[in-house]
Amino acid sequence: MGHCRAMNDVTQTTVTGGDVLVDTLIAHGVDTAFTVSGESFLAVLEALRRKRNQVRLITTRHEGGGSFAAEAFGKLTGRPAALFVSRGPGATNAAIGVHTARQDSSPLVLFIGHVRSTSQGREAFQEIDQKAMFAPIAKAVLQPNNSDQIAAVTARAIALSMAGRPGPVVVVLPRDLTDGAVGNHEIPAFNPRPAVAPDGAALEQAAGMIAAAKRPLLLSGEIVAVQGARDDLIALAEATGAPVMTTYRRQDTFPNEHPAYAGHMEINRLPYQRQALDEADLLIAVGSRMDGITAEDGGLPGPHQDLLQIYPEAEVLARCQAKGQLLSDPGSACRALADRLEPKQTAWRDDLHQSYLQSSEAGAVVVHGAVDLSLVAGDVRRLAPPETIILTDGGSFARWIHRFYRFAGAHTQAGPVSGAMGYGVPGAIGARLARPGQPAIAFVGDGGFMMTGQELVTAVEQNIDLVVVVCDNGVHGSILEGQRQRFGADQVYGTRLTSPNFADLARSYGCAAWTVRESEDFAAALTGALAHAGPALIHLLTDDRDIAPFDKGPDAV
Cis peptide before 301 (omega within 30 of 0): yes
**Domain chopping of the chain, boundaries:** 2-179, 200-358, 366-541
pLDDT of amino acid 4: 36
Within 175-274, strands assigned E span: 216-220, 244-246, 261-264
pLDDT digits (tens, 9 = 90+) for 281-323: 999 999 999 999 999 999 999 999 999 999 999 999 999 999 9
What band does 120 get if pLDDT is binned at 50, 70 and 90? low
pLDDT of amino acid 3: 37
107-121, 220-234, 533-547, range with the lowest pLDDT: 107-121
Residue 169, SS3 per DSSP: strand
Q: What proportion of the chain, given as a percentage, has pLDDT over 90? A: 85
The fold for domain 366-541 equals Rossmann fold (3.40.50)
pLDDT of amino acid 105: 97
Measure the CA–CA gap between 366 and 468, rounded to whole angstroms. Answer: 25
pLDDT of amino acid 490: 82
Within 39-130, strands assigned E span: 56-59, 82-86, 108-114
Instruction: Kindly state which CATH superfamily the domain 200-358 is placed in.
Output: TPP-binding domain (3.40.50.1220)
Tell me the pTM.
Answer: 0.94
Measure the CA–CA gap between 129 and 126, rounded to whole angstroms. Answer: 10
Residue 486, SS3 per DSSP: helix
pLDDT digits (tens, 9 = 90+) for 400-413: 999 999 999 999 99
| DSSP-assigned letter for residue 50 | H
What band does 415 get if pLDDT is binned at 50, 70 and 90? very high
CA atoms within 13 A of residue 104's CA, in its CB half-sphere: 32
| Residues counted in the chain | 557
Q: Does the pLDDT value for residue 248 go beyond 80?
A: yes
pLDDT of amino acid 92: 96
pLDDT of amino acid 42: 96
Q: Are 372 and 519 in contact (CB under 8 A)?
A: yes
pLDDT of amino acid 325: 97
| DSSP-assigned letter for residue 40 | G
In this structure, the dihedral spanned by the alpha carbons of residues 149, 153, 156 and 160, taken in order and rounded to 10 degrees, is: 160
Q: What proportion of the chain, given as a percentage, has pLDDT over 70? A: 95
pLDDT digits (tens, 9 = 90+) for 76-108: 999 999 999 999 899 999 999 999 999 999 999
Measure the CA–CA gap between 72 and 10, rounded to whole angstroms. Answer: 36
pLDDT of amino acid 7: 33
What band does 417 get if pLDDT is binned at 50, 70 and 90? very high
pLDDT of amino acid 556: 38
Measure the CA–CA gap between 464 and 428, rounded to whole angstroms. Answer: 9
Query: What's the Cα-to-Cα distance from 277 to each of 147, 260, 285, 325, rounded to whole Å?
Result: 55, 15, 13, 20
Query: What's the Cα-to-Cα distance from 4 to each of 19, 39, 44, 47, 70, rounded to whole Å?
Result: 19, 21, 19, 16, 33
What band does 538 get if pLDDT is binned at 50, 70 and 90? very high
More confident residue, 317 or 122: 317
Q: Does the pLDDT value for residue 239 go beyond 50?
A: yes
pLDDT digits (tens, 9 = 90+) for 124-183: 666 688 888 999 999 999 999 999 999 999 999 999 999 999 999 999 999 999 999 999
Q: Are 141 and 114 in contact (CB under 8 A)?
A: no
Please spell the DSSP secondary structure of 358-413, one letter per residue.
HHTSTT-S--SSS--HHHHHHHHHHHS-TTPEEEE-SSTHHHHHHHH----SSS-E
CATH 3.20.20.150 corresponds to the domain 2-179: no
What average pLDDT does the structure give for the chain? Answer: 93
pLDDT digits (tens, 9 = 90+) for 455-503: 999 999 999 999 999 999 876 777 778 888 888 888 887 878 789 999 9
pLDDT of amino acid 514: 98
Mean pLDDT of 510-529: 98
Measure the CA–CA gap between 16 and 4, rounded to whole angstroms. Answer: 19
Cα end-to-end distance, the chain, whole Å: 59
pLDDT digits (tens, 9 = 90+) for 261-270: 999 999 999 9
Residue 515 main-chain phi, psi, to 5 deg: -115, 130
What band does 424 get if pLDDT is binned at 50, 70 and 90? very high
Measure the CA–CA gap between 433 and 428, rounded to whole angstroms. Answer: 9
Q: Does the pLDDT value for residue 553 go beyond 50?
A: no
Q: Which residues touch 44 (CB under 8 Å, ≥6 apart)?
A: 18, 21, 22, 84, 111, 113, 173, 178
In this structure, the dihedral spanned by the alpha carbons of residues 56, 59, 64 and 65, taken in order and rounded to 10 degrees, is: -80
pLDDT of amino acid 121: 65
